[in-house]
């Protein structure tokens, strides 16, 4: 049985997207490797705050049918550069039960293990569902602070939480909460500010995300607020130079109770649209490294809205914050042109129509690729997106339709297999494409 400190996968579980035929041997192997990672490694693999993606990677390829040998090989590849978790201080863990004292430890990566033990203790006493409702979703100052941190670090904590919930692993949920606690909270003015404006303008209703993307693209102040040399293009660009304008756009994405499923699909479609379409027609196809995190996170919102312990109000809030984050992320990379024809006209590396171009082949290629999990997460999220968005593809607000999903899957795997750089960073800036090889010119 899975607990706050023990990872135990079972083939009886049903992830949001998985392939048939997952074996109990793979479940046992993945559980063992995830347990080792949980017990031994810090959530950051260096002092700069770069994330340990082992849990993300293993759970993704496990859902895509990875064999025990593939799981072990990928784990060994990525454990080689992880840093030790370090010891925890019982006195600090005790301190954390005092909300005022707990504040003094927030945002400091050296307290990851302390927070991990703290949240495990809380789960053991109260149950993980109650802990999430208390520490993330209560709506008070403490919960809102941690909820904002959950979206920090390019969505890594909420991605981690999503894996924990999707795969029913309280230990991974504890890791996610501890990870959120050591992130910064500088996005909270954006989220709370957008909520305030949305409430004031409630009678106006919601615009679609793609309509808002188009408006942001046309707004020179917002679309050019970030500079190439900004250390963090959201914090130092958008929030510093166009905060009121960004809040105005973000506030116009709202969700009603009756729209939860459709708006979840809309969010997925919109982030895939701008992530896949942010291409340079003169260069090889590459996905933006920051944008893919918005796609990789999207799959978990299908899991969040199914949770019986989470109130409808908080399901809506989670989704609204995600949509507002995605709009801000788009703007922060200089709001690139979204070229839908790049997706529609893409020629896969292999001959179209052959079985090798289908999802099964894409999954096989990404499972075996030596990587840290970003590509496999992207591929699984795209395959999931196709399923979730299909019922709504007739709507104008859903710009990714039908064959484009498989096109995107091929673009994703082809682009990382094409060699360095695997990703482009900040696709709206010309400088981001400097080291990407040119496309071969078509032969006349």
Burial of 389 (0-12, 13-18, 19+ CB in 10 A): buried
Per-residue pLDDT, averaged over 372-384, amounts to 98
| 352/277 Cα distance (integer angstroms) | 20
The Cα–Cα gap between 338 and 281 comes to 11
**Omega of the bond leading into 239 within 30 degrees of 0 (cis):** no
* CA-closest candidate to residue 276, choices 387, 397, 424: 424
Cα(118)–Cα(299) distance, rounded to whole angstroms? 28
pLDDT of residue 54: 98
Under 8 Å between Cβ of 55 and 172 = yes
Q: Following CA atoms 116, 122, 128, 129 in sequence, which dihedral angle do they give, to the nearest 10 degrees? A: -130
pLDDT digits (tens, 9 = 90+) for 107-155: 999 999 999 999 999 999 999 999 999 999 999 999 999 999 999 999 9
For the segment 325-344, what is each residue's pLDDT rounded down to a tens digit? 999 999 999 999 999 999 99
- What pLDDT shows up at residue 201? 87
46 vs 322: which has the higher pLDDT: 322
Q: Is 88 exposed, middle or buried (0-12, 13-18, 19+ CB in 10 A)?
A: middle
For the purposes of burial, counting CB atoms within 10 Å of the CB of 80, is it exposed (0-12), middle (13-18) or buried (19 or more)?
Answer: exposed
Going by C-beta distance under 8 Å and a sequence separation of 6 or more, which residues neighbour residue 434? none
Question: Looking at residue 118, what is its pLDDT?
Answer: 98
**Is 70 exceeded by the pLDDT of residue 442?**
no
CB 59 within 8 A of CB 30: yes
Work out the pLDDT band at 444, boundaries 50, 70, 90. Answer: low
């Amino acid at each position: 049985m899975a607990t706050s400190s023990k990872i135990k996968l079972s083939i009886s579980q049903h992830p949001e997207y998985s392939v048939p035929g997952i074996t109990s041997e793979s479940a046992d192997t993945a559980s063992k490797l995830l347990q080792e990672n949980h017990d031994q490694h810090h959530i950051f693999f260096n002092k700069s705050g770069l994330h340990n993606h082992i849990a993300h990677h293993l759970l993704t390829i496990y859902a895509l049918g990875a064999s025990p040998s593939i799981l072990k090989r990928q784990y060994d590849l990525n454990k080689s550069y992880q840093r030790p978790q370090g010891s925890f201080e019982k006195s600090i863990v005790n301190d954390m039960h005092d909300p005022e004292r707990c504040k003094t430890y927030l945002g400091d990566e050296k307290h990851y293990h302390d927070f991990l033990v703290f949240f495990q203790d809380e789960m053991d006493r109260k149950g993980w569902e109650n802990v999430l409702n208390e520490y993330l979703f209560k709506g008070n100052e403490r919960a809102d602070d941690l909820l904002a941190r959950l979206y920090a670090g390019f969505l890594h904590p909420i991605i981690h939480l999503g894996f924990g919930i999707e795969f029913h692993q309280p230990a991974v949920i504890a890791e996610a909460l501890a990870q959120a606690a050591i992130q910064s909270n500088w996005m909270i003015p954006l989220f709370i500010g957008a909520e305030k404006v949305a409430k004031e303008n409630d009678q106006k209703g919601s615009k679609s995300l793609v309509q808002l993307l188009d408006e942001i693209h046309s707004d020179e102040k917002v679309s050019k607020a970030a500079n190439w040399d900004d250390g963090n293009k959201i914090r130092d660009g958008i929030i510093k130079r166009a905060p009121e304008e960004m809040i105005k756009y973000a506030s116009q994405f709202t969700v009603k109770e009756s729209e939860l499923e459709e708006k979840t699909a809309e969010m997925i479609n919109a982030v895939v649209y701008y992530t896949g379409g942010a291409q340079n027609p003169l260069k090889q196809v590459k996905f933006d490294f920051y944008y893919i995190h918005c796609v990789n996170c999207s799959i978990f919102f299908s899991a969040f809205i199914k949770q019986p312990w989470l109130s409808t109000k908080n399901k809506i809030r989670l989704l609204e914050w995600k949509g507002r984050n995605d709009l801000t992320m788009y703007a922060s990379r200089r709001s690139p042109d979204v070229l839908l024809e790049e997706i529609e006209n893409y020629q896969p590396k292999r001959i179209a129509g052959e079985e090798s171009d289908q999802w099964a082949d894409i999954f096989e290629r990404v499972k075996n690729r030596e990587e840290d999990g970003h590509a496999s997460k992207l591929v699984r999220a795209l395959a999931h997106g196709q399923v979730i968005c299909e019922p709504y593809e007739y709507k104008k607000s859903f710009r990714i339709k039908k064959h484009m999903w498989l096109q995107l899957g091929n673009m994703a795997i082809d682009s990382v297999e094409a060699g360095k750089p695997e990703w482009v960073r900040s696709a709206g800036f010309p400088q981001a494409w400097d080291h990407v090889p040119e496309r071969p010119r078509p032969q006349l």
